[in-house]
Structure 1
Amino acid sequence: MNDLASAAVPGRTRYDGSAVRAALGRAAPALLAYAAIRLLGIVVLALWSAADGKNWHTLLSARWDALWYTRVAEQGYGFTTVLPDGEVHSNLAFFPLLPWLERGLSALSPLSPADAGLVVAWTASLAAAWALYATGERLHGRRAGVALAALWAAVPVGIVQSMAYSEALFTALAAWSLYAVLTGRWAAAGVLASLAGLTRPVGAAVVAAVWITAAVTLWRERAGGVRLRAALRRHPGMLPGVLLAPLGWCGFFLWVGARQGSFTGYLEVQGGWGNGFDGGLAFGTFIWDQLSGPVFAAGLGLAVGVGLVAWLYVHGVRRGQPLPLAVYCGTVLLLALTAKGYFGSKPRLMLPAYPLLLPLAAGLARWRPVWSWLVIGATAAGSAVYGAFWLNGSGPP
């Protein structure tokens, strides 16, 4: 796998019902490990919240952004509030797929939209864990697939995967889209990329992965003397997949623009929230202020964390990470680290960057099982405690 492009698109894989059942059976250990780690996080959160006089269910389903998603599900778009500092917060900032699913599920069941959001998030998180297992298995073997799903469950901000937020849903759609690219199922990749684009602004990263991988694949075919039409025939569904991929993201962006009366309407809505992109200037200034102020230790920890993220990305690419994963992960990190706004959200914004964990998962797969599971268990315990502390404190806005 030293060549990113050649590792990106093997021959097309076909699936039938028995193959899907077999794949689910292979993924069962990963799904059980993932569910156990996330259950540990919820149990620790419940105990911590009870001791703190708070309700764990409310923290997961009806705080921060979850309230905005629920309001969209119940009332649609159009709600705006003006803060005392003059910031204008519009619910047009929130992409529609999660509230659509909340509305649909609550209409078909006794669940409230908030509880429907939890069901969607928990179900999607298992789907994401399955996709991560499938990716790890394909690239490094079954043990790496299990480790990848478990590590993603145990990241410090893993509790967000269990909240009525859109990160779990987005990661599931993105990971399955990229897996479809890896297995040559371009039309499925395009559909899933379009749905990911209806889930979060970072859906653009999935589109970029599909487009760039397709372009590199065709360029390599042309370099080998294959005509474009013949190359497209050798990769069934590539053209429809490429055309479908941006529809969700572009559709919502253009709809908000039309509603706001400006092509850049969505960017203006995000600006009202204090969000936007400045090349990382605001984030760099924030880190420097921490390092040069009375909270030097916090600033140092933040700088080390950013450095570790960068190292993991570069290390994965140098080890031959397939092109769609490298493009997707790099774009997610770029969008997260160059955005201004509330800096406490950055760990959550990087949560979908699961390819960062692939080198760690591959390394753990080479260890004796007892040692790898001790490391994963200790990491899961730390994640559970941090998640409970975080949600009972400032929480993820």
Structure 2
Amino acid sequence: MSDHQLRTRTPAAPAPRTTGGSRTAAAFRAAAPALAVYAAVRALGLLAFWAAASAAGKDPLGPLSGRWDSVWYQRIAENGYRYTVTLPDGSVHSDLAFFPLLPALERAVSAVTPLTLGGAGLLVAWTAGLVAAWGIFAVGAELRGRRTGVVLAALWGVYPTAFVQSMAYTETLFTALAAWSLLAVLKGRWIAAGVLCVLAGLTRPSAAALIAALAITAAVTLVREYRDERRAGPVLRRNARMIAGVALAPLGWLAYVVFVAVREASPVAYFDVQAQWGNNIDGGRALAAFIAGLPWPAALGLCAALGLLGWLVVLCVRQRQPLPVLLYTVAIVVISLIGAGYFGSRPRLMMPAFPLLLPPAIALLRLRPPGRAAAVLAALACASAAYGAWILLGAGPP
């Protein structure tokens, strides 16, 4: 090519820049099948419950927005932290056991819409459920491809206690924040992961599992890099954003614990409040005592369920799930099992451990013909809907 040609050649048009909005739109389009399947299975659950409640002559909205923990959150949204109740056994239940992000969102939504606090709580929970399904899909797609992400989101929507995802509870909000925080870690966006972890720490005490997952992952990364280089300075500078994200992560959880400590004039006040509710950590003694007190067929069935849970954890390890994902999952399971609280709540407490469902999701995708996977998911959705309707019309809290 001559000098003249070099001087007069028209330069190539620059590649179009991808904006944040276009990236979000593309991500939403990719997640649309997962969101559609998740919305469908949750709609089926609501329809089954609505039909069962109507047949029983009961208000279908009551258990979703106006019973059990939902009432405590709405009371905080309306009046702040000031309510306690003394039970016949002398224990004192304080609303300080409940973290502030959900009631704050309920109050904000109710202030700018015609919705009551109960309606606002449902709107927050249902919206967060879709955001959580999107995040779960994104994690599954990052690890095993888009089809796996779709099935993973669907399985989370048909989890045995998935009916809680339709209630004004914190499970969907916390799972959404945890899923997107884990995705941010997988993509190396540590500041975003830390900020999301701050919000998770204002939502549920089990954010300790997410905080630990981020901190241990960062520590392992630093140790490995230092072992290779033997120079701390460059390692720390190269990982400055990771260190900053980890430093941010516990601030939400710590802020609320400090708030309770200052309010009650005791450094361990938050833990005392939880102990009054029976939610102190006892290493699993309450769980063992509960199993021992059951009739042997029920005890055997529960032990089998716990064995299945342990097997799922083993499968997650065998799949070589990334360290932050695996640590988060194991920590959620452990926290759910070693507390002294009401046994019936433990399956609900484990629901945010969505990576446990990755082995079943992969197994479903291996079924042939492919229609079998859809049939299994449909059967699970019907079973989950029926179980949810039965529990919600019962007397005890989930």
State the TM-score, normalized to the length of structure 1. 0.93
**Mapped partners of 2:240, 2:384: distance in 1:** 42
Corresponding residue for 2:242?
238
Q: Which has the larger radius of gyration?
A: 2
CA RMSD of aligned residues (A): 1.4
Corresponding residue for 1:176?
180
Report deviation, 1:341.
1.8
Q: Secondary structure at the match of 2:93?
A: strand
Write out per-residue CA displacement over residues 215-274 of structure 1, whole angstroms, 9 at most, x where no aligned residue: 111111112216334234444621220111000001101111111111110111111112
Q: Secondary structure at the match of 1:279?
A: coil
Structure 1 position 127 matched with structure 2 position 118: no
Bigger shift: residues 232-241 or 110-119: 232-241
**Mapped partners of 2:231, 2:124: distance in 1:** 44
Over 6 Å off, 4+ runs:
none
Structure 1 position 261 matched with structure 2 position 262: no
**Mapped partners of 1:81, 1:141: distance in 2:** 49
Q: Secondary structure at the match of 1:237?
A: helix
Bigger shift: residues 151-160 or 222-231: 222-231
Corresponding residue for 1:7?
none
Bigger shift: residues 223-232 or 172-181: 223-232
1:21 to 25, 36, 49: 25
Corresponding residue for 1:369?
370
Structure 2 unmatched runs, 5+: 1-17
Write out per-residue CA displacement over residues 51-71 of structure 1, whole angstroms, 9 at most, x where no aligned residue: 112111111000100000000
Write out per-residue CA displacement over residues 263-287 of structure 1, whole angstroms, 9 at most, x where no aligned residue: 1101111111122111001111111
Q: Secondary structure at the match of 1:41?
A: helix
Report deviation, 1:288.
1.5
Change (3 A) 1:82 1:219: same
**Mapped partners of 2:215, 2:120: distance in 1:** 33
Corresponding residue for 2:3?
none
Bigger shift: residues 355-364 or 170-179: 355-364
Q: Secondary structure at the match of 1:276?
A: coil
Q: Secondary structure at the match of 1:89?
A: strand
Corresponding residue for 2:219?
215
Look up the equivalent residue of 2:380 and give its one-letter code.
Answer: T
Change (3 A) 1:229 1:374: farther
1 or 2 for the larger relative contact order (CA 8 Å, sep ≥6)?
1
Change (3 A) 1:236 1:369: farther
**Mapped partners of 2:349, 2:45: distance in 1:** 19
Structure 1 unmatched runs, 5+: 1-13
**Mapped partners of 2:342, 2:174: distance in 1:** 21
CA contact (8 A) 1:184 1:235 kept: no
Corresponding residue for 1:151?
155
Corresponding residue for 1:185?
189
Provide the identity percentage. 54
How many residues align structurally?
380
Write out per-residue CA displacement over residues 338-383 of structure 1, whole angstroms, 9 at most, x where no aligned residue: 0002111111111111110011112222334311111111111100
State the TM-score, normalized to the length of structure 2. 0.93
Which structure 2 residues correspond to residues 95-110 of structure 1 after superposition, within 5 A?
Answer: 95-110=99-114
**Mapped partners of 1:68, 1:372: distance in 2:** 40
Write out per-residue CA displacement over residues 8-59 of structure 1, whole angstroms, 9 at most, x where no aligned residue: xxxxxx9822122111101000000000000000000000111112111111
